[in-house]
Structure 1
């Protein structure tokens, strides 16, 4: 039994690498999309703010599996042919953008109005004010919530197996079907997911402490 586990280690390693790679890229898209959506919500133009709100509500309510099915299996009907990797990254990114948008919206709202007015008095352009004052403060304020959402997306990545992506859950299923073992493969990936989540949580705690020291 131990020899079988040792032989399966390369499969677990490949699945872990796929999970980490797809999750990182998907989370990056989620964060960038969340920032743009949060800015759209602040727009005075209803043609911008209303669609942004509609997208956020849809992404928060639709299951990730549904988003993946629409992209990977429904896309070809509209000429959109995506590989499992690309569909996984895009699906995870689109799915996570809504929650991140709400996080950043709260972060931007928490910035004192006086700081924006001071930036205007200093002659900063809206772009300079956003990049140098608003965005850094919003990222600092929303760090704990952002870490929590990042952890959620990493755990949600287990659903990517529905589009045949060879991440951890898919690997466990493959090993289980070959060896007829159930406990060992799924217990192994559970421990690997736990290790990933624990690593993210500790990095987030370390970053939060550093930001707190710099901000004090």
Structure 2
């Protein structure tokens, strides 16, 4: 069959879409949470903090996500790590994405003019106050475009979660294709749903960028 999807197949796709959205969102939130201290460590003058952070980011950026998922899901039980597939999916996306977000945040913080930070310190602001009022707002505006691109990349990377039995969009498309002997309709549907997610992320990123730009304009006015 190569026609329209049946109601049952549409239900499977709706559930897969929800699963993809939930796991991607949780994994991305974990990645951002881990990336913040990692970025600070990468910029640290202490080799004790900087070297392990650099080793982690280089390893995660060099190793494919699919290998990390294999190690966690299929290799984990051999060392007593027994976690549900969904948990491993979130953890895998989070630890993998953290390395990329950390580099984005590090570059964003490094782009803030040091003269502004020094001026704020001379005015009596503490290091934490300088970070919150000077560095973080400017870095956030600079980081949003590349961070949005990274979120989109992770959403598309979630397709490999099918290898650890998670019923996300790609896995469901394959199952429906095998059952109905159709190729175009199931995979085209999956592609359109991924496109919808990517468009949502892109629009949210643009709104966040505009909101920060407006806030910064009002602050300087």
TM-score between the two structures when normalised by the length of structure 1: 0.94
Structure 1: gaps (5+ residues): none
Counterpart Cα distance in 2 of 1:190 and 1:3: 15
In the alignment, what sits opposite 1:89? 90
Equivalent pairs, count: 216
Counterpart Cα distance in 1 of 2:113 and 2:157: 35
Structure 2: gaps (5+ residues): none
- Tell me, yes or no, if structure 1 residue 120 matches structure 2 residue 124: no
Counterpart Cα distance in 1 of 2:4 and 2:44: 60
Counterpart Cα distance in 1 of 2:13 and 2:164: 18
Moved more, 70-79 or 188-197: 70-79
- 1:127: how far off? 2.9
Counterpart Cα distance in 1 of 2:99 and 2:128: 23
- 1:207: how far off? 1.9
- 1:130: how far off? 2.4
- 1:122: how far off? 4.0
Counterpart Cα distance in 2 of 1:47 and 1:159: 35
- Tell me, yes or no, if structure 1 residue 213 matches structure 2 residue 214: yes
Counterpart Cα distance in 2 of 1:153 and 1:182: 25
- Tell me if structure 1 keeps the 8 A contact 2:100–2:150: yes
In the alignment, what sits opposite 2:6? 5
- Tell me if structure 1 keeps the 8 A contact 2:40–2:106: yes
| Shift in CA distance, 6/116, structure 1 to aligned 2, threshold 3 Å | same
| Shift in CA distance, 75/131, structure 1 to aligned 2, threshold 3 Å | farther
Counterpart Cα distance in 2 of 1:128 and 1:56: 28
In the alignment, what sits opposite 1:27? 28
RMSD: 1.6
Moved more, 54-63 or 110-119: 110-119
Per-residue CA distance 1:128-160 (angstroms, 9 max, x = gap) = 332333222211111100000000000000001
- Tell me, yes or no, if structure 1 residue 168 matches structure 2 residue 136: no
In the alignment, what sits opposite 2:100? 99
